[in-house]
Amino acid sequence: MTGIYIHIPFCVRRCLYCDFFSTTQLNRAAEYTEAVVREIRLRYDETGEPIRTIYIGGGTPSTMDCSYIERILQTIGVEGKDEITMEINPGDATKQYLYELRKIGIQRLSIGIQSFQDELLVKIGRRHNAQQAITAVRLAQEAGFDNISIDLMYALPTQTMHMWQFDIDTAVSLGVQHISSYGLMYEDGTAITQMRNRKQIEPVDEETENIMYDYLCERLGQAGFVHYEVSNFAKPGFEAVHNSNYWNHSPYIGIGAGAHSLVGNVRSWNPENLDEYIHGIMAHDLQRESESLTKYDLYNERVMLGLRTNKGVSETLLNQFRSNTDTILDFINRGMLCRTDNQRIIATQKGLHLLNQIIEKLMIDA
């Protein structure tokens, strides 16, 4: 199954924690759309399989007029798709915009809420407020969207357990079908990392972060969400199809500045530069970088992605490398991994806290 990812790099302003490729040159949406349309036409057939899912992410795709999104969707074709998702910022979610998105074929929304507390939203530099977040979900439901995902963040500076419980309860009460939740990461070069380094903010300690994560898993489980990926929770039948394909290591075509693709064993990526991307596409001279994944790279990626999901990784795959057999047994004995009835290895709740370390131990050096 092939998915297509469209990167829309425009943001009204930079959130303090963000290290994604984005730009505030919103006035370039028209020329960017033309470049994207051209790249889709050039690369649509790259995997030799029909496109089944479309994901429009960013940046902030909802900074773009609906007519641009429509032009992109029409170029790909919306008929017969399993899932068409678009990320939106709550601040852009007017009634009219949401109705237009429905009309042009968007089936699923991913709303970047992050928190239902104004105080925390200001601290991380988001441009919307809590009321806009709630209104965005309500308006999307009124517009007919019955597959809505929201993003929530935890381990935010000054966030208490009580605040986090309030955010999760609010999310559950809104009746959304999917929740993605991530702890705040202090990435190199971001404004929030500089603030931490200058001691202007105090990061949440690791123990509290783990307690927040456990509460998230427990509370959403009680509310009927399936914890199907380390950071993702869905009502049964609402697991993200496009993203699940990434985790299954299925092929995808990434369109737009900075977008990554995986076709066969080749990973490639477009330049993270708006001018370079637009001029390259228009001049039929886009310089895309690529790397061929070795059998070790493929194995490592399958282990890394598989262990993040509730399907885990097959023992047959893990046992391809003898050196891993004892390591797996050790993790099982320490209650971090467990074996399912169908011979798959999955991470336990305890193991999810230390997933990166577990994965690192199971990686094979080429």
Contacts to ligand SF4 by CB under 6 A = 11, 14-15, 18, 20, 22, 58-60
CB neighbour burial string for 143-169, b if at least 16 within 10 angstroms, e if fewer: bebebbbbbbbbbbbebeeebbeebbe
Residue 157 CB, nearest approach to ligand SF4 (Å):
16
Tell me if residue 3 falls in helix, strand or coil. Answer: strand
Our CB check for ligand SF4 shows the closer of 20 and 44 to be 20
Q: Tell me which H or E stretch contains 84.
A: strand 83-88
Our CB check for ligand SF4 shows the closer of 89 and 309 to be 89
* Beta strands 337-339 and 344-347, pairing class: antiparallel
Residue 129 CB, nearest approach to ligand SF4 (Å):
15
Residue 9 CB, nearest approach to ligand SF4 (Å):
8
Q: How many CB atoms lie within 10 A of CB 121?
A: 23
Tell me if residue 112 falls in helix, strand or coil. Answer: strand
What single string gives the DSSP state of each residue in 282-330? HTT----EEEEPPHHHHHHHHHHHHHTBTT-EEHHHHTTSTHHHHHHHH
Tell me if residue 5 falls in helix, strand or coil. Answer: strand
Our CB check for ligand SF4 shows the closer of 47 and 114 to be 114
Residue 13 CB, nearest approach to ligand SF4 (Å):
7
Residue 63 CB, nearest approach to ligand SF4 (Å):
9
Our CB check for ligand SF4 shows the closer of 44 and 182 to be 182
Our CB check for ligand SF4 shows the closer of 1 and 18 to be 18
Residue 321 CB, nearest approach to ligand SF4 (Å):
37
Our CB check for ligand SF4 shows the closer of 2 and 33 to be 33
Residue 101 CB, nearest approach to ligand SF4 (Å):
17
Task: Find the angle CA(102)-CA(105)-CA(108) to the nearest 5 degrees.
Answer: 70
Residue 231 CB, nearest approach to ligand SF4 (Å):
15
C-alpha separations of 100 from 15, 104, 178 in Å: 27, 6, 22
Our CB check for ligand SF4 shows the closer of 77 and 125 to be 125
Residue 21 CB, nearest approach to ligand SF4 (Å):
8
Our CB check for ligand SF4 shows the closer of 18 and 359 to be 18
**Amino acid letter for position 318:** L
Residue 268 CB, nearest approach to ligand SF4 (Å):
22
Phi and psi dihedrals of 161, rounded to 5? -60, -40
- Dihedral angle at the C-alpha atoms of 211, 214, 215, 218, nearest 10 degrees? -160
* Beta strands 83-88 and 266-269, pairing class: unpaired
Our CB check for ligand SF4 shows the closer of 20 and 166 to be 20
Say how far apart CA 259 and CA 11 lie, in whole Å: 16
Instruction: Choose among 149, 219, 159: nearest CA to 183.
Output: 159
Our CB check for ligand SF4 shows the closer of 2 and 62 to be 62
Instruction: Choose among 295, 362, 351, 288: nearest CA to 325.
Output: 362
Using the Cα atoms of residue 341, residue 359, residue 222 and residue 136 in order, give the sign of their dihedral. Answer: negative
